[in-house]
Structure 1
Amino acid sequence: MKAPALFLAHGSPMLAIEDNAYTSFLAKLGEGIYPKAIVIFTAHWMTRKPTVSAVEGTYGMIYDFSGFPYDLYEIAYPAYGSVEWAERVRERLAGVAEVAVDRTRGLDHGSWVLLRRLFPKADIPVVQASVVPWWTPKQLFQLGEALRPLRDEGVMVIGSGGTVHNLMALRWEGHAEADAWAVSFDDWLLSQSAARSEDVFDYENKAPYARQTVPTPEHLAPYWIAYGAGGRDQAPRVLFREYQYGSLSLMAVAF
C-alpha cells in the first residue's frame, strides 16, 4: 500500500511531555501506519542545499531549545538511520537539485517530538532531511514531487513544521481562543492547495496576513515538500486542526 505523505505541525517542544488532543491524535495516527522507512523534513535543520542524513546505527539527540522543563532534556528516542534508504532518497532528490549527505547529525526536536508520539517503539528506519527555506515554494514542492515514487515502496514522507509560527504573537495565558488572522491564513492555504491553484505558491503576496503568520519561511517550508510528495488525484485532507496560545497552528494534513 502506498505510504502517506503528511505535513505535521511539531508545535512547542512541550508536546513531548504533555498529554492533549494533538498528542492523542498523533499516537492514534501512528497505530494505523506501517511504513518501511520514514523521510522527515524538519524546519529545525536549515542548510544551503538539500541534505539527507545517512546515519549508521542510532541517532544522537539534539535538544535545540532552551527555557523548558528539565524533563525534556532527559528524553531519549533511539531512532536508527539507514544508509541504504538515505541513498535512495538522495538519488531521487538529485534529479531536482544537488544534494549533500550528513553522516553525523542527530535528530532535532522537529523530528523526535513527532516520531516519538507516532512510533514510540522506534522500530522504523529514519532518514532526516533538511529544508532550504529561501528556496521558492515551487522549488520545495518539486523536491517533494521527486519523492513520490518512493511512497509506492512504502516510504512515508513527513514535513515537520508549522503553517502559522509567529512566536512574538503567542498569548501564553490560559487557553487563548484562536486568533482570527491565523485561522484565516490556514483557511486560504488549504483552499488554494485543494484547488491546485498556482496562487498558493505566491502566498507572500496573495494570502491574508501572510507577513504576520509567516515572519520567517523555515516552518512553512516542509508544507511545500509534503504537498509535492502527495498525489494529484485527491485534495489534501485535514486530519487535525487546533491552535495553541492563540495562533500556534497544530495542523496535520494528508496529501
Structure 2
Amino acid sequence: MTTRFPTYFVSHGGGPWPWMKDQFGHAYDKLEASLVDIKRQVGARPKAVLVVTSHWEAAGYLASSGDAPGMIYDYGGFPPHTYQIRYPAPGQPQLAERAAALLAASGLTSGVDPQRGFDHGTFSMLYPIYPEADMPVVQVSIRHGYDPLEHIQAGRALAPLRDEGVLIIGSGLSFHNLRQFGPSGQAASHAFDGWLRHAMLDLPPQERSAALLHWNEAPGARAAHPREDHLMPLMVALGAAEQEPAALVYHEDDFFGSLAVSSFRFGAATA
C-alpha cells in the first residue's frame, strides 16, 4: 500500500537557531518541538524530502540536482561557528528532474541547478526533524514576482510526488518583517496570523485557496509581509494538498516576546 504523505508549511525561525541555543535560550523550544513531531506525524520514512524554500528565488522554478549539496550561509552577524555548520544530507538528482518535469508539464518555467547548496531555510528547519542528515533532500525555488496563483499551481503540479514517497515541506515564516521583529510588530503579526489561521483551518478548500490569492487584503498583511517571499512556500504546500483539511501544527502568540507565528499541515498525518 502506497503512503500518501501530507504536506507542510513551517515557520522556520531565524538564521541558524538550532546551533545557537546558548544565545537564544528557550525562544525556539516550541518551534523545535513542533518540527521534531513532524517525523512522528509522518510515520513511514519518506524516500526523500522536497523543500520549497523562501531563501531561493529564480526566474523559474528550479530544483537542486546535485548529489551532495554544499552549504549556503545566507545570514549575517552570527557567531563564527554558525559559518562552519554542516548538514550533509545527500541530494537526489532523479527527484530534481522529476519535479522539474512535473512543473514543466503544467506549463510552468522550470529547470534544475546542480550547484545549489542548502540554505538556512532548509538546513535549520530540517535539522530537528532529521538530525542524522541521512534523508535525501531536494530544494525547489520560489519564483520572482510572487504570484500566489502560480505558486499554488506549482503545488498542484508537484502533488503526484506525495504518492511517490516524497515529503513536501514549504519553508518560510508566517510573519516576516525584520524591521519589526519585536514589540513593534506585535499588532500586525497577531492580526495577520489570526486571519491566516481562520483561512487555513475554517474555510472549505475552494474558499481557502481564494483567500490566499487575496492575502494582501488581510488585516496586517503588508506590515507582516512587506516582501512576501516567506509566504510563497505556503502557497505551494497548500496547492499540493489543495482539497485536503489543514491542521495547526505550531503556534505561538509570544514568539520573541510579542509575535504570533504559525505552521500548518495539509492532509492527514500518516501515523
Q: TM-score normalised to the size of structure 1?
A: 0.90
Aligned residue in 2 for 1:95:
105
- Indicate which of 175, 187, 212 corresponds to 1:180: 187
Aligned positions of 1:126-205 closer than 5 A: 126-171=137-182, 179-194=186-201, 195=203, 196=205, 197=207, 198-204=210-216
The SS at the match of 1:152 is: helix
* Alignment deviations for residues 123-169 of structure 1 (CA, whole Å, 9 cap, x no partner): 21111111114132111001001111110121111100012100101
The SS at the match of 2:171 is: strand
The SS at the match of 1:121 is: coil
Deviation at 1:94, TM superposition (A): 1.1
Deviation at 1:11, TM superposition (A): 1.3
The SS at the match of 1:42 is: strand
- Contact (CA 8 Å) 2:72, 2:118: kept in 1 or not? yes
- Indicate which of 212, 230, 244 corresponds to 2:223: 212
Aligned residue in 1 for 2:39:
30
- Contact (CA 8 Å) 1:164, 1:182: kept in 2 or not? yes
The SS at the match of 1:212 is: helix
CA RMSD of aligned residues (A): 1.9
> Is 1:21 aligned to residue 33 of structure 2?
no
Unmatched tracts of structure 1, length 5 or more: none
> Is 1:221 aligned to residue 232 of structure 2?
yes
* Distance in 2 separating the partners of 1:248 and 1:218: 19
Aligned residue in 1 for 2:269:
none
Deviation at 1:221, TM superposition (A): 0.7
Q: 1:231 to 1:200 in 2, by over 3 A?
A: closer
* Distance in 1 separating the partners of 2:51 and 2:14: 17
**Equivalent residue pairs, number:** 248
* Distance in 1 separating the partners of 2:233 and 2:84: 27
The SS at the match of 1:200 is: helix
With 69-78 and 21-30 compared, the bigger mean Cα shift is at 21-30
> Is 1:71 aligned to residue 78 of structure 2?
no
- Contact (CA 8 Å) 1:133, 1:221: kept in 2 or not? no
* Alignment deviations for residues 33-82 of structure 1 (CA, whole Å, 9 cap, x no partner): 321111101111111111111112x2111111111122212211101101
* Distance in 2 separating the partners of 1:177 and 1:82: 42
Unmatched tracts of structure 2, length 5 or more: 267-271
Richer in helix (by share): 2
* Distance in 2 separating the partners of 1:228 and 1:22: 24
Identity %: 35
The SS at the match of 1:211 is: helix
